[in-house]
Chains A and B, each alone.
Chain A
């Protein structure tokens, strides 16, 4: 099993550009989530999904969109990037809800100029 995979590893965007961060898992986990990690802030939940077709907002959802068309994939979209979105983004999955052990991907480092 590859576990949780994320692409790209690193991306530079200009303010106003859009992009999609990809996340996929091969563990047949129902629950998937996106976090951002900023210095001194820890990990903060952006959006999560409890199954295909079901998504909801986390702690810091503004500026991000998600969709969940399949169990395996959970992309994160930035429609109009802002410098405040410069961060490291982690995708995670777990069996069941957050009450299960979360498995994190390797992260995407995003720089918005």
Chain B
């Protein structure tokens, strides 16, 4: 059972456009929602994260929007660049030592 559902599986965006990746969860005990970025042949790296008491967090061109009542959160990449082409994973963390659950990933391709 997938604890965090992520969509779309793949996304193609023109340079300068907005990329939007969505995630949903059911477990209300989750208290931290990170996004990881993974380039081909590399390990995932933390990109940005949000806590559920905040509705939005922005870091440069990357913004997380969080809707606690809907149990959904999304990553927005403004002014998308070819260098943003990567796989993005959302995740959700609960209590305990092993409670970090990842979405299935979104492969983003930004066309020049």
Residues on A close to B: CB < 8 A?
4, 31, 33, 40-45, 48, 50, 56, 58-59, 90, 92, 97-99, 101-107
User: How far apart are the CA atoms of A102 and B91 in the complex, in Å?
Assistant: 12
Given A42-B103, A42-B104, A45-B100, does the pair A106, B43 have CB atoms closer than 8 Å? yes
In contact, A104 and B44 (Cβ under 8 angstroms): yes
Tell me which residues across on chain A come within 8 A of B2, comparing CB atoms.
Answer: 42
Q: When the two chains form the complex, which single residue of B43, B93, B97 contacts A90, counting CB atoms closer than 8 Å? A: B43
Given A40-B104, A41-B104, A42-B6, does the pair A98, B99 have CB atoms closer than 8 Å? yes
In contact, B98 and A105 (Cβ under 8 angstroms): no
In contact, B104 and A99 (Cβ under 8 angstroms): no
Residues on B close to A: CB < 8 A?
2, 4, 6, 9, 32, 34, 36, 41-46, 89, 93, 96-100, 102-105
Q: When the two chains form the complex, which single residue of B6, B41, B42, B98 contacts A58, counting CB atoms closer than 8 Å? A: B98
Total of A-B residue pairs, C-beta within 8 Å = 56
Which secondary structure dominates chain B's binding surface? loop
Tell me which residues across on chain A come within 8 A of B36, comparing CB atoms.
Answer: 104
Sample of 14 A–B contacts (CB below 8 Å): A41-B104, A42-B104, A42-B105, A43-B102, A45-B98, A50-B97, A90-B43, A97-B97, A98-B96, A102-B100, A104-B43, A105-B43, A107-B41, A107-B42
User: How far apart are the CA atoms of A101 and B34 in the complex, in Å?
Assistant: 9
Q: A104-B43, A107-B43 are in contact. List 5 more A-B contacts (CB 8 A).
A: A42-B103, A43-B89, A98-B99, A99-B32, A102-B46
